[in-house]
Each structure stands twice: as structure tokens, then as C-alpha cells.
Structure 1
């Protein structure tokens, strides 16, 4: 099934220059001293597109002006196209700030056309833009429906496309705009009426481009496009429209950059392991080096949800030494994408990737010195057989447990090991801890330690009169057979 989605960004000039276009100050974008776009407050004051600068100032003296820059608009459209590459590798640019996406092969992956359109709208909102979306079996058909802003913008079958296109005005076709007065004179206002005109005469008067565009929209000829390609490396920058003094306010800008990186990763079939977000400070006489936030992931990812949560925790703990005027995001380390395969019987506690992401989130929130994990040591002494180390950025494979020799029984270990052994009193030649203790297991002899730290112990499982079980040991004094043994409590069983 061939299906195209057209995205027309009607407010692109105003959103590029004035992201806070609904703020308290009325703002307009000028081109050749005429108003190209106006904010909501400016429109309430009577400012309309096409007005001259002087006339707009008479209506609203407090207007804020922005000069149009085609370079900035093209850059913004390129950012949107890069983010849309996460939904399809076939994204093309069209006239009038419109993008065309071939999503025929992506419908099943994203759960149908409605779910796909909702996800695209969410990505556009994360980038800070609004767009008119449409669906059609042809690219030019989707382009026309998106530009027209019709109520019915999803046409899935080719036989339903012609009635929808026939109701559109002729002014939507760029080749027809020089001849709108002539069309108005002969009573031709819609594309359906335009198609009823004799084709030879229409071609002689208006040229072949008009007929070619109509044929492409209705699927009569093949459409050819130059697809947008992702760059070999990802580096994206964002210039802020004001000086930001609180780190948490940078999250929205970071989300815009992350959306572009997700599209780049999906287009290049890569997953990222390390990213660096640079916070650009003032330039000139008060210049400072950028503040760098580095995220090192244990598992490579290609979606922005986990990265956004980690950045949110990092920014919440960051205190800015100077205001920030820009952001720069770079993918430092990438790997080929390896999507995880679903298991037949999923674990109730989540996958290993979920647990790994939880640890990364805790490290970002609490700091690396406050999230520790056990690291076994090659020592027979229980108090030295383990130490607590910070969680590494990459999971470390634990050595495989060796099998016990034949005939040797592994005795149980307590669930609670005391930090320091407690010396026990002796009553009636038996160790005493709240009550006399009775040994209910055979001895487990442990001898370990070097150079003055050697230990010789016989461990037992002891039971008190309340039937609580303890892990105790008898210390053997080397070279003194007559010395009384000393007993210690080292652990408690649950």
C-alpha cells in the first residue's frame, strides 16, 4: 500500500523567529518592509499580513519586528525533516514549507495511520512547531490537502482522492497563480472545474507544468523526489532567544535536539552510547568555556524517552555559573542498532535493559557515589569477600561459579552479615546471646589471610531458646591448645 503524509507548516516564519509568539509583546515578521506574519496580539491590534511597516506601527506602536531570513527557515525545515526520519527513510521537501513522507511501509510498525499521525504531531510539538497533516495515495495529493487545510485530510484510496481534490481552489497550484484573474473571468474556481477545461488549450495558455501537477496529484504519472539524507555524524545546535539563568529551563531546548538525534539514529540504523550536551555561555569580553553534560549509557539506545529523563535529572542538579545563550548536542559514541527480541515468557520484573535504565536514572538523580553494587572478592573471609563499588557505565560480566569438589556440602549463609563480629559471653561452657546457644550444624572451617592478617575460624549455625538461628564462629588460637576458645556472632538468619 502506497501512502503519503504531507506536513505543511503554515506558521513556520513566526515560529522560527518568535517561539514565544503568544507572549505579552506583539511581534511581526517583515519581508521587504511588509508584514509577512503577525502574532496573536498583533492581529488583535489590527495588524494583517501584507501591511507596510509604517501602517502596522500606527496600529500598534509597541510592535517588535523581526526580519525574515530564508536561511533560518530552511534550517528549521531541515530540523523537522531530520526528526521525521524516525518514521520513514523517505522524506522529501516540497514547495510552500511542506514535507512529504512515504509511510506505506511504516503503517504496521507504528500501529496504523492514525497512531502514526499522532506520533508525528507529538514530535512536531516537541520541536516547537505546528503543522497541518494530510494523508493521500499520491505525494502531490497529500501536498494539496495539507496546504488546503481541509476537514477531511485522510484519503486512503485512490478512487476517493479525486472527489476531495476537485473541491480545492485553483490558487493552491503554483503554476496557476499567474492566471487566477483569467480563471475567475471564465468561472473556473476549483480543481474539478479546471480539469474539465480542454487540455490542449489549457496547455497552450498556462504551460505544461500545470497539467503535470494535476496528473501527479491524481496518480496518472510517476512522481520523482530527491530524498533527504542523514549526515554521517550528528551535531546539532540551538540558539536560544533569551539568556537562560536556570538549568531546568533548558530541558525544552534539549528535547528539540534529542528529537533530531532520534531521527538521525533511525535513518543511519545506529544506537547511541555517549552524548554530550554543551551549554554555550556569553561571548566576547565576558566569554566563558561551555558547560558540558556527558551521558554515558550502559545500553545503547535510539529513543529519546530515557535520554530525556537522564538529562532532566542532570539539569535539576546543575547550578549555572553564567547565563546560557545556546545549546549544542553531539553523539560521541554510536553502535549499530540491535533491536531486542521479545522472549516467549517475559520476566515479571522487567528486562535487563529496564533494570539497567533504572540504575542509570538513580545515578543521575543521586550521584555516582550514592548508588553502589556488590563486587565479589577472591577471599574466604566473609567480611572481606565483598566490597561496594559505584555502578559502572557498562555491565561487568561476573565470573562463573565453580562447582564444589565431590563430597563437599555447601553450608547456608546468613541473610544479614554484621559489619563487625560481636564477642559472646560464655555461660556453662556455651556461648550466650540472650540465651544459651546450641550448635545445630557441623563446623565449617575457614582459614585465610596473609602477612599478619591470617584467620582460623570454625563457623556453626547456632539456635537460641527462642528458636532464632545465628551464625557464630569459634576462633582458634594458633600455637596454644590450652587457651579457651573465643566465640563471636557474625550473622543472623531470617
Structure 2
């Protein structure tokens, strides 16, 4: 099934984050002192295309006036096309600031045409633009539908219905008919349906073959050829900020625009990212300050922006800008081939390993890597030496000690090991900690550390008090400095607590 979505950006490059600005704002775009585009409210005041600036000021004095910038329009259109590559690899640019997407093979992946249109609109809104969408079985038909309405979604999924809808569209939407509009209107031809009823031979002699070819392509009577957009080999996007921004949290809206482009690039290249670098640039010249850099390293490579947005939100909330930011850039540091996960028939109730990694990354971004630790035990019999913890982001080459596979092979160990053992008093020759402690296990002798000249000789016990709380205590034997093999009176210490 061939199905196309045309994304029309009617007022480039006005970066407004409110999706309804074309409905509640009178806005006019000028090109060489003549109107090139106007919003619905401006048209309601009587503003039309090719009108001079003086006439606009007379009819709609409250209208916001902007000058057209072709370079910015071209850059914004390319950014939009790159971001939309996450929905289909077959995208191309069309006339009048349109991006055409062949989404016939993407419908099932994104849950149908309605869900896909909503996702496309949301992606373009995160880029800062408002659009009108057209959906049709032909690319030219979708292009005409998108340009026929402002901020509307016009969907036609069957070719006969598309032909009936196109018959009612004004002839001025067909760019190939623009040079001949005066003559065509003079003979009463004002809609595409009227144009199709004219004799083809005479119409070709007067208007040329391109007009008939464009008309046939829109109605599905002629094949369409397109030049697909190709993603660059590496990703680096930069954006100038509209003002000097002093708070890092405000930059999230602009960072999402860069993330949206990166996700389109990743999908087009079939890659997943493991590290991204966000730079916030400050003043230049004599007051130049080094940019503020945020580096996010991921445990699992991903290619969707939902998790990345959460991580950036947490990192930006903890970031203090030395100087106001005037621009920002995003680059993909480390990438690898995309590994698509297959859906299991019976998914794990506790979540997938990827969900666990994303939770750890979110906690690291929120609390800092020094506060999120993982166990990294060392091969040593001394508990205070073997019980080692390191940051989850520590990728050092020190390998953790291998633990026995059978839990019964391990002696009892407490869940909470104290950083420093607490000395215990003796009452009636028994250790005392609030109440007298009674031994509930045999002694476990640990004698080690002689290779570091820190020999330790201890007898560990599991002890219980009158409240049935279990402790891990040890009796330490200390050598007499004057007699090599003699021991002094043992000392008791509390080293851990059982859950």
C-alpha cells in the first residue's frame, strides 16, 4: 500500500512553541516589501499576498511583521526533514517548504495512520514549528492537500476519494499552472476538476507538458520519481539561542530540538548512541568563556529521545552556568549498530535489563555518579577490604572477585557492614551491646594480611541480643610485641548487622 504524508511548513522560520499561533496571532511575512505569507487573522483583516507594506499597516496595524529569510527557511526545512527520518527512510523535499514521507511500510510499526500523524506533528512541534499535514495515496496529492489548509490534517486513504477531493481544490495550488492562471481563470477554469475536463491536446499546446504531468501525478495516472534525503555520516547540530539564557533548565526546550534531529539521524543510519555531548556556548571575543559541556554516557545504546530527554532534564537541573548561554550544540560521541529488541510472548514482570539500566542512568543524572554505587568486591578474606563499592560509571579495569555460585558455600555475612568496627564492653566475660549478647554460631577464624604487614587474627560469631536482633561480632587477638607467638587479652568488636 502506497501512502504519503506531506508536511507543509507555511511560515518558516518563525520559531514559536505554541502550536496554535496561526489561529490566534495576526502575522505577516514580507519579501521585498510585498506580502509572501499571512496568518488566518491577518487574512481576515483583508491582507492578501503581493500586498505592499503600507496597505498591510492600514488594514491590520496590530499584525506582527517579519522579513523572509530564505537561508533560515532552507536550514529549518533540512532540520525538519532530518528529524522526520525516524518515521521512514524514504523522505524527500518538495516545493513550497514541504517534506514528503513515504509511510506505507511504517503504518503497522507506529500504530496506524492517525497515531503516526500525531507523532509527526509532535516531532515538528518540538522543533519549534507549526505545520499542516496532507495524507494521500500519491505524493503530489498529499502535497496539494497539505497546502490547501492551514494547521489541518487532511487524510484521504483511497484513490477514488482522493480524485474527488482534488477536483474541488483551487487551481492556484498547482505550481505549474501559475504562469497561466489569468488565461485559465478567463475561460472559467478555477479548480483542478475544471482543468481535467479541458482537451488535453490543446492544453498541452498552450501550457506545456509539465502541467499535465504534475496533474496526472497528483491523480495517480503517472509515475512519480523522487530523490531521497540521505543522512550525513556523522551527527553534529548547532543552534543559536534567541536570547542570552542564564538558567540551564530553560535550555531543555532547545536541547529537545537537537535531540529530535539526532533521533532522525540515528534511525536513518540504523545506529544507536552510547554517548552524547551537549555544549552550551557563552560570550565570544574579549569576554570569551569556555563552553559548558554535559556528557551523557549510557549503559545501553538507544536511538529514541524519551530517555535522553529525561537524562538531560536531570543534568541541566544540576548544572550552573558561569555565564549566559548564547548557543548550544549536540554531537553523537559513540555510536554502534542498532540492535532491535523482539517482543517476547511472556514479558518479564520485573522489566527488562534495558529498563534496569535506564533507571540507573536516571538516578545517576539526578543524584550524581558519586552517590550511585555498585558492589565491586576484592579477593581478600578481610571483610573491610573485600567489601568495596565504586560508582556505576566507573569503567576501570579492576575486576571484581568471583563469588561462589552456591550460596551455601558462603559463611553467613550481614547485609549492613559498618565502616569502622565498634568496640564492645564485657560484662561477666560476655560482650555487651545494649543487652548481653549470646553466641548462636560457631567461630569463623579469619587470619590474613601478613603480606601487607597488617596481620589480622579474628574469630567471627553471629550473636543475638534479648530483642532477637542478630549481630556480626568478632574477637580480635592481638600479638604481644615482646613475645613473638604470644597473644594478649582478646578484644570484642561489632562489625555488622543482619536484616
Both structures adopt the same fold (TM-score exceeding 0.5)? yes
- Provide the residue aligned with 2:9 in structure 1: 9
Kept after mapping to 2: 8 A contact 1:296/1:393: no
TM-superposed deviation, 1:138: 1.0
1:212-361 maps to which residues of 2 (within 5 A)? 212-361=213-362
Structure 1, unmatched stretches of 5+, are none
Kept after mapping to 2: 8 A contact 1:29/1:68: yes
Identify which range, 304-313 or 254-263, moves more after superposition: 304-313
TM-superposed deviation, 1:49: 4.3
Identify which range, 213-222 or 54-63, moves more after superposition: 54-63
1:400-479 maps to which residues of 2 (within 5 A)? 400-402=402-404, 409-450=409-450, 451-478=452-479
- How many aligned residue pairs are there? 492
- Provide the residue aligned with 1:486 in structure 2: 491
Kept after mapping to 2: 8 A contact 1:237/1:257: yes
When residues 117 and 394 of structure 1 are mapped into structure 2, their CA distance, relative to the original with a 3 A threshold, is farther
1:94-243 maps to which residues of 2 (within 5 A)? 94-149=94-149, 153-243=154-244
Secondary structure, counterpart of 2:240 in structure 1: strand
Whole-angstrom CA distance in 2 between matches of 1:199 and 1:26: 42
Secondary structure, counterpart of 1:376 in structure 2: coil
When residues 237 and 21 of structure 1 are mapped into structure 2, their CA distance, relative to the original with a 3 A threshold, is farther
Kept after mapping to 1: 8 A contact 2:376/2:401: no
- Provide the residue aligned with 1:86 in structure 2: 86
Secondary structure, counterpart of 1:120 in structure 2: helix
TM-score (norm 2): 0.88
Secondary structure, counterpart of 1:84 in structure 2: helix
TM-score (norm 1): 0.89
Secondary structure, counterpart of 2:496 in structure 1: strand
- Provide the residue aligned with 2:53 in structure 1: 53
When residues 336 and 377 of structure 1 are mapped into structure 2, their CA distance, relative to the original with a 3 A threshold, is same
Whole-angstrom CA distance in 2 between matches of 1:218 and 1:56: 37
TM-superposed deviation, 1:13: 4.5
Whole-angstrom CA distance in 2 between matches of 1:159 and 1:20: 32
* Segments ≥4 residues shifted beyond 6 Å: 18-22, 24-27, 39-46, 59-64
- Provide the residue aligned with 1:32 in structure 2: 32
Kept after mapping to 1: 8 A contact 2:19/2:125: no
1:355-406 deviation digits (Å, cap 9, x = unpaired) = 222222222222222322332122211122122322216698855434689x
- Provide the residue aligned with 1:385 in structure 2: 386
TM-superposed deviation, 1:71: 1.7
Whole-angstrom CA distance in 2 between matches of 1:319 and 1:141: 50
Secondary structure, counterpart of 1:147 in structure 2: helix
